[in-house]
Amino acid sequence: MIKVYPKESRFSRDHGWLQSNFSFSFADFYDPDNLQFGSLRVFNDDFVRPSQGFGKHPHEEMEIVSIVLDGELKHEDSEGNSAVTTFGGIQRMSAGTGIYHSEFNPSSTQEVNFFQLWFLPNKKGVEPEYQKTTYEPSKMKNNLLPVVSSQASENVAYINQDVTIYMSDLNTGKELTHTQEAGRKMFLFVIEGDVTLNDNIHLSKRDSARMTDETSVVIQANSDARFLLIDLV
């Protein structure tokens, strides 16, 4: 089954310094029928104005992934980690037994747009951990490029959950097929452009799809498209 969530179905909040779009219940947005999808608990599409950000705040027992689409995002935490990430970079934080962190836009001129994803961990009580990785955006071209996985490598961030996040740039007229084991789920989010799934399901910019009981999906680009695909439990 493939269920489409148009971009208009997201909850949006404009704080002036921050424009947020929530795909799941988060903060002051609560929908008991939209709390999570498998282990995916949060998918926020955030735009933060220059020299603004989220002050120091706590997290625990959550795997938190930040994916920068445009601009710069700076992370600092109570473990002494500090890093700036741009497009082509991933920030992954295992909150574990508890950590404080902040995220803000260090640029004085440019807005930052990033996704923040939260996943329920596959084990609790781990030591807090922060990791920054980079990938080569050119390898996204007509390819599903893994950027986060429980099977980590030099350019793939590790996560304490049976999840793989792929990024892709798909040229007009091209298609990709993703196959997975029965019983798993897929979440697809269109960043730019528009695509068709399995020849008959159309998604435009910022639309998403949640797939269950599907062992494969064919993704076709109707225009040059950039999207994110999550293979998860």
Q: Point out the annotated binding site for Fe cation.
A: 57, 59, 101, 103
List, as residue ranges, the binding site.
Answer: 57, 59, 101, 103
For the chain, what is the largest distance between any 2 Cα atoms, rounded to a whole number of angstroms?
49
Question: Could you tell me whether strands 145-149 and 157-158 are parallel, antiparallel, or unpaired per DSSP bridges?
Answer: parallel
Report the alpha-carbon angle 153-155-160, nearest 5.
55
Report the alpha-carbon angle 116-48-69, nearest 5.
55
Phi–psi pair at 67, nearest 5 degrees: -120, 115
CA contacts within 13 A on the Cβ side of 76 = 8
